[in-house]
Amino acid sequence: MSTEFFKNIGKIKYEGRESDNPLAFKWYDEDRVVAGKPLKEHMRFAVAYWHTLVNKGGDPFGAPTETLPWDKSEDAITRAKDKMDAAFEFITKLGVPYYCFHDIDIVDEAPTLSEFEKRMHTMTDYAKQKQQETGVKLLWGTSNLFSNPRYMNGASTNPNFDVVAYASAQAKIALDATMTLDGENYVFWGGREGYMSLLNTDMKREQDHLAQFLTMCKDYARKNGFKGNFFIEPKPMEPTKHQYDYDAATSIGFINKYGLQDDFKLNIEVNHATLAGHTFQHELQVAANEGLLGSIDANRGDYQNGWDTDQFPIDIYEITESMLVLLETGGLQGGGINFDAKVRRNSTDLDDKFIAHIAGMDAFARGLICADHVLKNTNYKKLRTERYASFDNGDGAKFEKGDLSLEDLSKIANSKGEPQQISGKQELYEQIIANAY
């Protein structure tokens, strides 16, 4: 029997909207059917290992604030096993079906690559057993190719080939771990795949190298039977000044340019969208329009400052708009909703981690329920469809089909004269969303 780390917390239950118990769901009734399927199937929630089990609240201005009871042993493997016991206890008590990890979240790096690989084998065996015991599954694995100082000039985009080779070897270990654990997807977030200064950077060469690296990883995993999706996670900056996977549109251009469209989709993160000067819903829509909306990293930024704060999602209005995109475009392809979010540095109780996830899960459930209500019981869809009615027949329909020339349009415009002014009715749409709660 492993140690119980979250001692005063039992299985989190759904108690409904009237409950004032902070350790119960108010909206996330996992079996409630919304838009044709249970909430748990829409959401496929995941716990992010790095924020909830690893992060101790250090920031550039101060030391860690949290003492994690599973982070005590002097021995790397014992410490990793304790951490994994805590992870599976947390995930099963919360009732979340998935988790996500970076290789070095699972176990510390070792002095050599081969020792690290050995550690990873030990820990994937341990994780496999834990998954079998609990039914918890791996939504995605990834490789941390940005924290170690060796990656200060980039990983696969490093100007030094030796670093590129090292990064590739590390990615191979993480791909192996993901496959051993039947991971459903694999993520590439290129934290340092970008530049700090264009002066010392051959951008085209670096982007070619990034594509080469992604292609090799994909080929290796496919050859070894991996059937899941590869996701690129866009972010415009931080830690680099400029990250190559800047936003959804840039990443789609990259995917198409390098012929990766059959295997790669996007993992859209809220705070990355806002850092890029977009809304979350904009990024979802851009990805969905291309058939590439794979997965979500759920969090939120602080809208008064401009960095990646990774706060837990709580903004129902933003989430409702986003869930509208999700419902209208057919949902996530292969992915789920991973809480890439951390409790604040001064939230130091162990139950804060539960409270944060519960509030985030409730916010997403509530947003989805509201979005479903908007689609089913309001004028929202009809209003938007009717805005484009002039293209449904006549010359508008001919234009859409490509049956009119510029001269034809000139004739039409001259005969019709000044177009009628038609209101965009933005406030009406906003009222509909605001009244859905």
> What is the Cα–Cα distance from 377 to 119, expressed in whole angstroms?
54
Name residues contacting ligand XUL, limited to 118-177 (CB under 6 A): 142
The reply to whether 302 belongs to the active site is no
Applying CB under 5 A, the site for Co ion has a residue count of 3
Q: Is 102 designated active site?
A: yes
Q: Give CA–CA dist 21/15, Å, rounded.
A: 8
Least Å from the CB of residue 195 to ligand XUL: 17
Write the DSSP symbol of residue 231.
E
Report the distance separating Cα 31 and Cα 43, nearest Å. Answer: 11
Q: Which is nearer to Co ion, 117 or 313 (CB)?
A: 313
Q: Give the nearest residue (CB) to ligand XUL.
A: 189
Integer-rounded Cα radius of gyration of the chain: 24
283 contacts ligand XUL (rule: CB under 6 A): no
The residue among 95, 69, 88, 80 whose CA lies nearest residue 12 is: 95
Q: Which of 43, 25, 26 is nearest to 34 (CA)?
A: 43
The residue type at 6:
F
Query: Cα(314)–Cα(2) distance, rounded to whole angstroms?
Result: 33
Element (H, E) at 44: none
Query: Which residue of the set 105, 245, 310, 362 is catalytic?
Result: 105
Among 297, 318, 362, 372, which residue sits at the site for Co ion (rule: CB under 5 A)? 297
244 binds ligand XUL (CB under 6 A): no
The residue from 51, 102, 272, 278 that is catalytic is 102
Q: Please, are residues 322 and 281 in contact by the beta-carbon 8 Å criterion? A: yes
Closest approach, Cβ 352 to ligand XUL, in A, equals 20
Least CB distance to ligand XUL at residue 425 (A): 36
Among 269, 290, 318, 372, indicate the residue that binds ligand XUL (CB under 6 A). Answer: 269
How many binding residues for ligand XUL (CB under 6 A)? 10
To ligand XUL, the closest distance from the beta carbon of 181 in angstroms equals 17
The answer to whether residue 105 forms part of the interface with ligand XUL (CB under 6 A) is no
Decide if 349 contacts 396 (C-beta within 8 A): no
Task: Rule CB under 6 A: choose which of 29, 66, 308, 362 binds ligand XUL.
Answer: 308
Looking at the Cβ atoms of 179 and 187, the one nearer to ligand XUL is 187
Which of ligand XUL, Co ion, none does residue 235 bind to, with CB < 5 to 8 Å depending on kind?
ligand XUL
297 near ligand XUL, rule: CB under 6 A: yes
Candidate residues 99, 126, 189, 339; the one interacting with ligand XUL per rule CB under 6 A: 189
Rounded CA separation 360/118 (Å): 36
Residue from 177, 187, 214, 316 in contact with ligand XUL (CB under 6 A) = 187
Residue 187 beta carbon to Co ion: minimum distance, rounded to whole angstroms:
8
Among 235, 265, 342, 353, binds ligand XUL (CB under 6 A): 235
Return the number of other C-beta atoms located less than 10 Å from residue 10's C-beta.
Answer: 9
d(CA 233, CA 338): 12
Q: Which of 47, 76, 230, 245 is nearest to 143 (CA)?
A: 230
d(Cα 377, Cα 17) in Å, to the nearest integer? Answer: 21
Q: Is 340 in the site for ligand XUL (CB under 6 A)?
A: yes
- Pair type for strands 194-195 and 242-243: antiparallel
Interface ranges with Co ion (CB under 5 A): 269, 297, 340
Interface ranges with ligand XUL (CB under 6 A): 102, 142, 187, 189, 233, 235, 269, 297, 308, 340
Catalytic residues: 102, 105
